Structure 1
Amino acid sequence: MKPTYLATILAMLLSPQLVVAEEVDSAETANIERMSVIGVRQRLEQAGTLANTIMKTEVINATTIENKNAVNLSEAIDNSPGVKVSNECSMCGVKRIMLNGMKGEQTTILVDGLPVHTMISGYYAVDAIPTTGIERIEVARGAGASLIAPEAIGGTINIISYEPTENGAELDVSAGENGYRKLGFLGKGVSEDGSTRATLVAQYDDRDQFDADNNKVNEAPLQENRSLTARVSQDVTDTDNLVLRLANIQSEIFGGPMLGSTFADGTASSIGNVLSGFDDQFSEPQQLFEDGDVRKPFTGKTWETTEWIKTERNEASLAWLKEFSNDWNMHLATSYAEHKQDSFYEGFDYTAEDKMWFFDARFNYLLSENQLLTFGADLRTEEMRSHSRTGSANPDYASDSFDYDVKGIYLQDTWQATDALEVAMALRYDTITADFTDPKKPGTELDESILSPRLDIRLRHNDEWTSRVSAGRGYRAPLSFFETDHGILDGSLGFNIDIDELERSNSASYALSYEGEKLTSTASIAWTEVEHLAALTTNDHGIPLLTQLDEKATVITSDITFGYRLTEDMTLSLTAEHFDYDSVFKSSYAVAPIEERVTLSLDWDVNDWEFFANLVWVGSRDLSEYGYDGYNRLDANGQVDLDSKKTTDAPAYLTLDLRVSYEINEYMSLYSGVSNLFDYTQAGDEETPLFYDAEGAFDVGYIYGPLRGREIYAGMKLTF
């Protein structure tokens, strides 16, 4: 084996990259669903016979991902325009990626344009998606943003894999405070004739628990991730291209008692030690903390605050692109995802296996030089089965297992009406069935058909000004009890269902862009209305109940971005955003979302040095509007101390990230930086996310600010 090929295989294993947001132009990139590759696909894209971008799309490129020192997907896209990664549990660290103010479960994640994430993998999996081997991330906001993902009410996130142009490898190693470590490897191989392009990507990363208020219960959990991905793109002939991708991702999260500390049942020496100590004998709520106060040291049994989640996800996809003529091409694709979860939630054990298959047959026909017709059909089938030893001991226990099937056909007409006006009209028709399969849940909960249209218009007013208008309809089947982070905690009682409608949404947006010699800017506003919005509550017996709201919920998002090139080497970026949620939407959130945000970034390249700074301001909020109500202390009788009522005024705050890198030569660069320089955290500067509700029950979701503090790091990147 040649050394270059060996280096390629190694380099494909691990490689980190950075994040930058910018607007996509059709002349620069293809539709959110396109695959950027060399050879057959690239030729068809350049000829305009695969796809064309009309809708407003933000791109987070590899340089931006690197500058943010983003280890995973959630870090890479957080604070991009219209994007918020919400941390909704201080114990397990579950993350939700919110687009246009929508809830996290209303976002669809694609890889190279194909779905490889199951219903339940969007909760703990986003922190395990590595940034090594990512060429860019495309964010399209709004219902119907993807022809093959109509359930994306909030929008789609499309992860585009790196495709090599030469043999080589990249190795990225970094470490820092709070147990942060990362090893990333990207191996690149290209055949002599260029028809075969392969990558091998591997990444390992981990972080320790974080406890800012020293009450021996973490605000951010320990997390360890491993991933291995292999991808091959083969031009079989001058008119045929095959892409095969295989991936394995493993993640372990441990949250709750600080490992190494001593509690009522001994020292928490290891994760295994904590889990094996479960005795099913719960302490009284007022005995969990010293003096019954969540701000003081935890004195209960270690397992009583433990949330442990171990997941493994296997992904596979195969896509065939066939060019029949200059006017015709066909794209056949299939993807498979298997998500396995083994978990323990403060005394309740839960295992689940979720398998999903997706098939898509798409055809593109060039009706004329100015009109492209795209049509096809797809099928998605998903099967989730869960089990609980604790739950099975209850004769009335009903699981949350389900079957989900979607069959759809679609048609899109992209028309270049004039040199200045471009229009895309799309229509999908789907039949959806969703069935909770536990014998205690007879019948099929959802059996519906739905028509989902979408319209995108781009109008170039002149060389500098461009308008974009989008409107669409989407749907989603609410199936998972993880839609609120603590819906699983009472799972030992079973899972109750009151779902008989699809969530249905209508959305519309307008964006005005300016592109000058030094200044670029985009102002946009988006409106989304959702009917039958899912919400999780409990029934009269305290059993988790997945139900739907009667009223329609509405969110209006407005933002403006500026980019200004101060010099040839220095760029300044500013984004200001406002999110306006109506009272119905506010009542559905488990954790209060942001309402105002301003982001200021500076990127300065000088000789072999690069400096990057990112300042984020988040405005204050009234938490009472989101249903926050909690207390810090219980008295000796287990009653809440009314004088310990927690604040409902979430203050404004600032975070600042800095990074500097130095390129020693073409083979080696060094970098160092700091995340959250001001070390602002909710628990360290305001108050703990732990609380007692009005009935005296302990909970962990009183969250409104950052939960992980300052992190200084340094690293080295090698290129072979």
Structure 2
Amino acid sequence: MKSYFSTYFFSTILTLFSLPLFAGNPIKVKGHITCGKEHIPYVTISVNDGQLGTTTDESGHFMLELEKGETYHLTVSTVGYKTIEMDWQADNTHQELHIEIQKDLLELNEVIVSSSRRAQNRNETSSVVNVIGKELFQSANFKVAGEGLNYISGARVETTCGNCGSTELRLNGLEGPYTQILIDSRPVFNGLVGVYGLEQIPVNMVDQIEIVRGGGSVLFGANAIGGTVNILTKSPEFNAYEVGSNFSTIDGASNDYNVYFNTSLISKNEKTSGYVFGSYRNRDAWNANPDDIYYKIDEDGNPFGDPIKDDFSEVTALETISVGTKIYHQLNTQNQFTFDAKYTHDTRRGGNKLDLPYEEADLTEAIKMHIGSASLTHDWFSQDKKWHLNTYAIAQFVNRDSYYGAHQAPDGFGLTTGSTIIAGSQMNYDIGKVAGGKTFLVVGAEFINDRINDKKLAYHDPETGKWTNDATVSDQNSNTYALFAQQEWTNAKWSLLTGVRMDYVNITDYQNHENDKSVPAINPRVNLKYKILDNLQVRGGFATGFRAPQMFSEDLHIEVTSGQGVRTVLDPDLKSETSISYNLALDLDQEIGTTQFYFLVEGFHTTINDRFDNQYHYQDDGTLILFKRNSTSNAVVKGLNFETKIAPSESFMLQANYTLQSSMYGEENQWGDEESSTSKHILRTPNQYGSLTANYKITNQWEASLTGVYTGKMFVPYLPGGFINGEMPENEELIETEQFVDMGIKVAYTTKLSKNSNIQIGAGVKNIFNQMQSNFASGIDKDAGFVYGPYTPRTFYIDVRIGNLLN
């Protein structure tokens, strides 16, 4: 590590002193941007792929300082309007630049970065990229980033634990570890953060989320098999602020309160800018089945005594604080530094008797998590704008205190610590015209160190009868060394993205060095787009991937089942998992009169070899330990995604997504401890699901939104230990769930608060039809993993937002 950071430091110093500073003949260029007769405020004008830039003010005007005689490439973009790219020469001392832009009612032309880490028009990329923006977050009172991912075709966010409320994203039917989640294009979602990470990112820090289904680019990791989710945080583009608060209630007693702020400031010379955000959330626990009864269990597993009313939570109590900042400083036209820092404190608790100490309740799952991260990035551009070198270093540290125990267990306390260090460099080179098409080359290297230490603070050894302090469950260090190269070639009809990534993963198990592994892997990926017509195009992709035999986020989620803690260790014989995936998509965008229309159909097929699966083993003292193992068979996930958007006018927009899929093992796979507990189905994966959003602007001040998520039937396992409807299941059971339609509605009113500020007041209902799973487990020994369908029942809310950019 020391040598790597030394290399970064000296390369940066050499870059700064060996390259000439901006010393040409600058001129001030004034301009304005309009749509018809209306001037458009807060439009971003990016010069030479972000080397320079500015935004229009409240009146739609801007000013740039450029070098006389130079030709610049301008990218003009803002939410709700079509992106314009143009070349322009600064040839007069006093130049007035007028740019006319058009409404993009369906927002098909957003600027994205998730194909090559450079800004591109989404419609021009060789792979399908979906974008979630602030409009969706505001349409349904979303508080965290994960809530919006249900509204992308092929994506599902599910709750995986009824006690602690952990969540998991599935893309194209594949579980969370098959999706690479990035923050600002960096893989800081390590195994420990990934357990609750999607609920720890407040929406007020998010600019947009970009989703690429399938293998996609080689830049973001070999384990991006299901896809890549790139959460792009807000950047300081203009002086702005927003404060807000929202309040939700389920039944008048279980409430969810959130308050937040964000602000950005730009220096007068526009060379330094900063963004600061903060968020606080407090949610009460909620019990779905307070009228259910259960009984105490004797040593033989038989119920006895008087019936007891269930008082265990299904919605977890939580308190989350998030703060952060992002600062840019442009030394000159060739060099820019970015500093980013974030801190999150997350406390959550499920079970019963939440006012008592953990070990005095009948059942407790609780965590106190501290996450801190900081990054420094340097961007260098050559004078001819053809070279762009991006060098970065990131550090993230996590501390998680936990308690997982039932029956007032004294040994339920645990401590898990983790650190992630990432350093890398990427060079983008604009080769120019090759064989009649623009050609871009990307080469880079990345190093990732991920250290995880998980231990119980007290452990009772059944063989010796003694208590042991600080019993280590897992102590693993993983170093990943990666080299990647990618070339993109595009002309008026074709776009070809080819790349290869070489990873070498070195895993050290400090508990048992016999489990140490060194895993090399080479993974090629290809994406091809052909424009059949100006508004009709087909895209196809091929990707290979692999997962090294190491601890993942789901391994570090400790739950309670049958009254015992469930922890994960790795099978010593666990091998790497490999995959091959294909996808083919056809999309059409059409204007018929004033109506804009978009339709996409996409097929996907993924084969996974030596798939990681879970095998249950009971220790002699009854403690349940979950081993990772190599599957005895492969798995195939395949299906179709459908998307459509319709906008008859500026006042109304409708979007719908639907997925049909099949997720199967090659042969019967054991999912429980009993020999008969087998299935060919990949569990917790419905064969059909979808979403709907509709926005209607009633007047300039009033607007209404309708949202909905459909979840089809799926198979969910139940492990005995608790009661269902007052009865104790005798055997492990595979349950086929019902289907769910979770609808929500919101109405909002926006008006002027002052000359430069607006206020928006909104109110709505989530889960209007109160769609919940029909069977909930009861009792101290209930199966915490027996949770499916919508996480919260019918919920009423109100929110207030104040800022200078509300419309």
Provide TM-score, normalisation by structure 2: 0.74
Q: CA deviation at 1:32?
A: 0.6
Q: CA deviation at 1:30?
A: 3.5
- Decide which structure has the larger Cα Rg and report it: 2
User: Does 402-411 or 139-148 show the bigger shift?
Assistant: 139-148
In the alignment, what sits opposite 2:678?
Answer: none
Structure 1: how far apart are the matches of 2:481 and 2:230?
22
Q: Pick one of 679, 682, 688 that aligns with 1:596.
A: 688
The 1:691–1:235 alpha-carbon spacing in structure 2 relative to 1, beyond 3 Å, is: same
In the alignment, what sits opposite 2:268?
Answer: 192
The 1:487–1:230 alpha-carbon spacing in structure 2 relative to 1, beyond 3 Å, is: closer
Structure 1: how far apart are the matches of 2:403 and 2:551?
17
Matched AA of 2:450: E
Matched AA of 1:332: T
Matches within 5 A, 1:595-634: 595-606=687-698, 607-621=700-714, 623=715, 627-628=717-718, 630=720, 633=723
Q: Pick one of 313, 317, 325 that aligns with 2:375.
A: 317
In the alignment, what sits opposite 1:651?
Answer: 738
Structure 2: how far apart are the matches of 1:508 and 1:590?
19
The percent identity for this pair of structures is 19
Matches within 5 A, 1:207-356: 207-214=283-290, 215-257=310-352, 259=354, 270=355, 273-277=356-360, 302=361, 304-324=362-382, 325-346=384-405, 347=409, 348-356=412-420
Q: CA deviation at 1:543?
A: 3.5
Structure 2: how far apart are the matches of 1:250 and 1:191?
31
SS of 2:289's partner is coil
In the alignment, what sits opposite 2:442?
Answer: 374
In the alignment, what sits opposite 2:238?
Answer: 166
Matched AA of 1:546: K
In the alignment, what sits opposite 1:670?
Answer: 761
Matched AA of 2:547: R
Q: CA deviation at 1:246?
A: 0.1
Do residues 426 (structure 1) and 499 (structure 2) align? yes
Per-residue CA distance 1:296-331 (angstroms, 9 max, x = gap): xxxxxx2x3210011111111121110123221211
User: For the Cα contact (< 8 Å) 1:445–1:500, is it kept in 2?
Assistant: no
User: For the Cα contact (< 8 Å) 2:760–2:800, is it kept in 1?
Assistant: yes
Do residues 718 (structure 1) and 802 (structure 2) align? yes
* Larger strand percent: 2
In the alignment, what sits opposite 2:535?
Answer: 464
In the alignment, what sits opposite 1:61?
Answer: 133
The 1:191–1:435 alpha-carbon spacing in structure 2 relative to 1, beyond 3 Å, is: same
Q: CA deviation at 1:428?
A: 0.7
In the alignment, what sits opposite 1:454?
Answer: 525
Do residues 528 (structure 1) and 620 (structure 2) align? no
The 1:641–1:601 alpha-carbon spacing in structure 2 relative to 1, beyond 3 Å, is: closer
Structure 1: how far apart are the matches of 2:269 and 2:508?
51
In the alignment, what sits opposite 1:291?
Answer: none
Q: CA deviation at 1:655?
A: 1.1
User: For the Cα contact (< 8 Å) 1:574–1:601, is it kept in 2?
Assistant: yes
User: For the Cα contact (< 8 Å) 1:24–1:57, is it kept in 2?
Assistant: no
SS of 2:235's partner is coil
Q: CA deviation at 1:592?
A: 1.3
Structure 1: how far apart are the matches of 2:183 and 2:457?
35
Q: Pick one of 218, 221, 237 that aligns with 1:149.
A: 221
The 1:401–1:584 alpha-carbon spacing in structure 2 relative to 1, beyond 3 Å, is: farther
The 1:88–1:23 alpha-carbon spacing in structure 2 relative to 1, beyond 3 Å, is: farther
The 1:647–1:118 alpha-carbon spacing in structure 2 relative to 1, beyond 3 Å, is: closer
SS of 2:474's partner is coil
Do residues 680 (structure 1) and 748 (structure 2) align? no
User: For the Cα contact (< 8 Å) 2:634–2:665, is it kept in 1?
Assistant: no
Structure 1 residues not aligned, in runs of 5+: 1-17, 36-43, 260-269, 278-301
State how many pairs are aligned: 638
Structure 2: how far apart are the matches of 1:24 and 1:410?
32
Structure 2: how far apart are the matches of 1:375 and 1:365?
9
Matched AA of 2:794: R
SS of 2:220's partner is coil
The 1:33–1:230 alpha-carbon spacing in structure 2 relative to 1, beyond 3 Å, is: farther
User: Does 565-574 or 392-401 show the bigger shift?
Assistant: 392-401
User: For the Cα contact (< 8 Å) 1:481–1:487, is it kept in 2?
Assistant: no
Do residues 358 (structure 1) and 422 (structure 2) align? yes
Q: Pick one of 58, 70, 83 that aligns with 2:142.
A: 70
User: For the Cα contact (< 8 Å) 2:153–2:690, is it kept in 1?
Assistant: no
Structure 2: how far apart are the matches of 1:645 and 1:341?
32
The 1:140–1:23 alpha-carbon spacing in structure 2 relative to 1, beyond 3 Å, is: farther
SS of 2:459's partner is helix
SS of 1:55's partner is coil
User: For the Cα contact (< 8 Å) 1:616–1:656, is it kept in 2?
Assistant: yes
The 1:118–1:65 alpha-carbon spacing in structure 2 relative to 1, beyond 3 Å, is: same
User: For the Cα contact (< 8 Å) 1:446–1:501, is it kept in 2?
Assistant: no
Q: Pick one of 485, 489, 501 that aligns with 1:415.
A: 489
Q: CA deviation at 1:575?
A: 1.4
Q: CA deviation at 1:479?
A: 2.6
The 1:655–1:337 alpha-carbon spacing in structure 2 relative to 1, beyond 3 Å, is: same
Matches within 5 A, 1:568-607: 568-583=650-665, 592-606=684-698, 607=700
Per-residue CA distance 1:419-464 (angstroms, 9 max, x = gap): 10010101011111112211xx123432111101100111111112
Structure 2: how far apart are the matches of 1:414 and 1:659?
43
Q: CA deviation at 1:52?
A: 7.3
User: For the Cα contact (< 8 Å) 2:106–2:653, is it kept in 1?
Assistant: no
User: For the Cα contact (< 8 Å) 1:465–1:514, is it kept in 2?
Assistant: yes
Q: CA deviation at 1:593?
A: 2.4
Structure 1: how far apart are the matches of 2:725 and 2:240?
65
In the alignment, what sits opposite 1:289?
Answer: none
Structure 2: how far apart are the matches of 1:145 and 1:384?
28
User: Does 383-392 or 585-594 show the bigger shift?
Assistant: 585-594
The 1:23–1:90 alpha-carbon spacing in structure 2 relative to 1, beyond 3 Å, is: farther
**Cα RMSD between the aligned structures?**
3.1
User: For the Cα contact (< 8 Å) 1:563–1:572, is it kept in 2?
Assistant: yes
Structure 2: how far apart are the matches of 1:158 and 1:494?
28
Structure 1: how far apart are the matches of 2:216 and 2:575?
19
Do residues 102 (structure 1) and 174 (structure 2) align? yes
Q: Pick one of 634, 647, 651 that aligns with 1:552.
A: 634
Q: CA deviation at 1:563?
A: 0.8
Q: CA deviation at 1:600?
A: 2.4
User: For the Cα contact (< 8 Å) 2:191–2:553, is it kept in 1?
Assistant: no
Q: CA deviation at 1:555?
A: 0.7
Q: Pick one of 367, 379, 387 that aligns with 2:455.
A: 387
Matched AA of 1:523: V
User: Does 407-416 or 573-582 show the bigger shift?
Assistant: 573-582
SS of 1:115's partner is coil
Provide TM-score, normalisation by structure 1: 0.83
SS of 2:445's partner is strand
Structure 1: how far apart are the matches of 2:729 and 2:135?
51
Q: CA deviation at 1:343?
A: 0.4
SS of 1:400's partner is strand
User: For the Cα contact (< 8 Å) 1:118–1:337, is it kept in 2?
Assistant: no
User: Does 498-507 or 110-119 show the bigger shift?
Assistant: 498-507
Per-residue CA distance 1:590-609 (angstroms, 9 max, x = gap): 96123211322211113211
Matches within 5 A, 1:491-510: 495=569, 497-510=571-584
Q: CA deviation at 1:537?
A: 2.3
Per-residue CA distance 1:281-309 (angstroms, 9 max, x = gap): xxxxxxxxxxxxxxxxxxxxx2x321001
Structure 2: how far apart are the matches of 1:216 and 1:574?
39
User: For the Cα contact (< 8 Å) 1:24–1:56, is it kept in 2?
Assistant: no
Q: CA deviation at 1:498?
A: 3.1
In the alignment, what sits opposite 2:785?
Answer: 701
